[in-house]
Amino acid sequence: MQRFWISVMGALLSISLITAAAGASTAKVVPLTRTERCTNLSRQVDEALETHAAATQVTAAKALQRKGNRFCANKKQAQGIRMLANALKLLGVAPIDPDQ
């Protein structure tokens, strides 16, 4: 009889561990706001400009970054995000999106 209860307790323990692990893996990640994405992309452009200083498109990328930052500051984050992403693409860098 004691072996029966030990096996039942073992089964219950394993079921609870499995459900706890499944619950932890489905935790929702809070997406970044557009303002935070503007900040992250602008920082990425700054880093790309430092590492890709010899690129022929540096001037155009800086202009797009200024334009993007201006859009972000004027509550037009979607346009700003596009400009900053285009600046990164000009430098040959893929924008890093932490939401994906």
Confidence of residue 46 (pLDDT cuts 50, 70, 90): very high
Confidence of residue 60 (pLDDT cuts 50, 70, 90): very high
Q: Could you give the CA distance from residue 64 to residue 61 in angstroms, rounded to a whole number?
A: 5
**What does residue 88 show for φ and ψ, rounded to 5 degrees?**
-65, -40
Q: Report the pLDDT value the prediction gives residue 78, as an integer from 0 to 100.
A: 94
Average pLDDT over residues 63-86: 94
Q: Could you give the CA distance from residue 69 to residue 73 in angstroms, rounded to a whole number?
A: 6
Arithmetic mean of pLDDT over the chain: 80
How crowded is residue 80: how many other Cβ atoms within 10 Å of its Cβ? 25
Residue 64 in this model has a pLDDT that exceeds 80 = yes
In three-state secondary structure terms, 97 is coil
